[in-house]
Structure 1
């Protein structure tokens, strides 16, 4: 029996590249002369979030590259909180694309990675010729100051705090998470996955009660179907080694990003784009108006896909659907 194309695809290779962060760790698979597809993970993950996409993209002839965003995994972790502002992360992506000779590159992101991908395409269209967004819709820069928006999310008099606000003070979320990283991550992933998220009417895990923790609202003792024990070991092992501060510092720069990107207020992303979301992802409910605005904000949109029965972790909960949609979209782009 002859091997399949995927069987013949070289194994993924780990590399460290110099970038403004210091060094960026990446995992690449596929032919070096193939079109570059840069994959950006979200919180709280790593390059490993793209384990189902790397071999499939490689087998289709793409040079698939998943990075550890600065502050995560084996990438450098600058000490200063303001070293995690959005334009610094864009600069890391540009450095990776240029080092790999992949301009123009396609950039695809999930969760925070989707926002980083969007801003990369918005501010550096000379480097990123197309953008794919998973989980989090594109919202143009501008509008009210983010800290003010998040402070209002819980509503007056509820005594609750939105998780983004909860993450703002250095050390507070770390004190909750780091004594039991594996257990906290298991609960977080379960809380946002379609098959294990809390039932309607249960306390919302995106909010923290007065004097409480996020974890007390997470499901306990259950893993979502996409997350095996070995997968959890890989994801938790990185954070047990590095701590969570680098990852959380992304949230602590949202007001700085708002100021840094003031010149792009209301700007559309004109390159070819793609959106994939989970029908049970709270992000779609919060940002429903952003999806409705796509004809104006993403004029190059070539597909907006909402996957029924899917939660937040789109490419891991529904890898086959995600891979099919990505490949169809990539095939439609100029090569």
Structure 2
């Protein structure tokens, strides 16, 4: 497909798309995480475009101002995957899928539940959901993930994010820079997307087993030793949940690799796509 995609629709929602790079290049769709928007992939996309790839990014359900349905059930994994399938189908075929943080969780689930729309997978920070869940009782992961329980609660997450001193300290401990934290306040809190973004966590109890199957697509998983949210045990357990070609890459750095190490991620994505 050579026509630019400016938007796509799914579930009665409309998503604006940033479609850049050579129109005849291999299509790479990159999914952002929490609490960020598609802009977090900016530096990686520039590098991919320079290498001849066509990159598509969009603010996902709850983040896009034209795609903020009410109620937590609208944010269950099946609906997040359907959004990714819709943009992949809009390109005319399967895509190379990349995700970070929650975007990685959606990318894993898309590769598991809709393998027909995924050519290759590159997941950053968050491991396969079965590895993540399996690591909980046998490692420090349950302690690292305390905030997931907090985010299930009504009102509390919204209150926390509206206390600048509190949330700035929390995000700073994860490795976010002051500039990144300021962007969170602008793009997530002030934009009105906070509650719908947190609804991704509140919808977790409605996840289907369909989305924790083994992944057959050629896969690269990237984990960083300085990630305060994701531990080594879940990262090493990831391999048993991929039946296709698999590469596990360990790097130094924080959780926020797309902005922190764009050169590395470019190289790993290109290696996966070319392979």
What TM bracket, shorter-length normalisation?
A: 0.7 to 0.9
1:298 to 242, 246, 253: 242
1:249 to 159, 183, 199: 199
Q: Which residue of 1 aligns with 2:29?
A: 38
What is the alpha-carbon distance in structure 1 between the residues aligned to residue 172 and residue 245 of structure 2?
A: 31
Higher RCO structure (Cα 8 Å, ≥6 apart): 2
Cα-to-partner distance string for 1:31-62 (whole Å, 9 max, x where unaligned): 22221111011110000110111111112221
Partner secondary structure for residue 242 of structure 1: coil
**TM-score, normalising length: structure 1:** 0.72
Cα-to-partner distance string for 1:152-207 (whole Å, 9 max, x where unaligned): 9359xxxxx92111111121110121354xx66643442111xxxxxxxxxxxxxx
Kindly indicate whether residue 174 of structure 2 is the aligned counterpart of residue 192 of structure 1: yes
Shift of 1:141: 8.3
Kindly indicate whether residue 225 of structure 2 is the aligned counterpart of residue 236 of structure 1: no
Please say if residues 164 and 251 of structure 1, whose CA atoms lie closer than 8 Å, have aligned partners that are also in contact. yes
Q: Which residue of 1 aligns with 2:104?
A: 114
Residues 1:305 and 1:141: Cα distance change in structure 2 (over 3 Å): closer
Aligned CA-pair RMSD: 2.9
Gaps of 5+ in 1: 1-12, 156-160, 194-222
Shift of 1:301: 3.8
**TM-score, normalising length: structure 2:** 0.86
Shift of 1:232: 4.9
What is the alpha-carbon distance in structure 1 between the residues aligned to residue 131 and residue 39 of structure 2?
A: 29
Gaps of 5+ in 2: none
**More helix per residue:** 2
Kindly indicate whether residue 60 of structure 2 is the aligned counterpart of residue 54 of structure 1: no
Partner secondary structure for residue 32 of structure 1: coil
Shift of 1:96: 1.0
Q: Which residue of 2 aligns with 1:168?
A: 152
Partner secondary structure for residue 22 of structure 2: coil
Shift of 1:331: 1.8
Q: Which residue of 1 aligns with 2:122?
A: 132
Please say if residues 302 and 329 of structure 1, whose CA atoms lie closer than 8 Å, have aligned partners that are also in contact. no
Shift of 1:284: 4.0
What is the alpha-carbon distance in structure 2 between the residues aligned to residue 60 and residue 69 of structure 1?
A: 25
Residues 1:59 and 1:79: Cα distance change in structure 2 (over 3 Å): same
Q: Which residue of 2 aligns with 1:17?
A: 8
Q: Which residue of 2 aligns with 1:70?
A: 61
Q: Which residue of 2 aligns with 1:307?
A: 251
What is the alpha-carbon distance in structure 2 between the residues aligned to residue 17 and residue 191 of structure 1?
A: 37
1:281 to 203, 207, 227: 227
Please say if residues 16 and 26 of structure 1, whose CA atoms lie closer than 8 Å, have aligned partners that are also in contact. yes
What is the alpha-carbon distance in structure 2 between the residues aligned to residue 232 and residue 143 of structure 1?
A: 28
Cα-to-partner distance string for 1:225-265 (whole Å, 9 max, x where unaligned): xx63xx555443222021410110000111111xx22x465
Please say if residues 142 and 264 of structure 1, whose CA atoms lie closer than 8 Å, have aligned partners that are also in contact. no
Partner secondary structure for residue 247 of structure 1: helix
What is the alpha-carbon distance in structure 1 between the residues aligned to residue 123 and residue 222 of structure 2?
A: 6
Residues 1:124 and 1:238: Cα distance change in structure 2 (over 3 Å): same
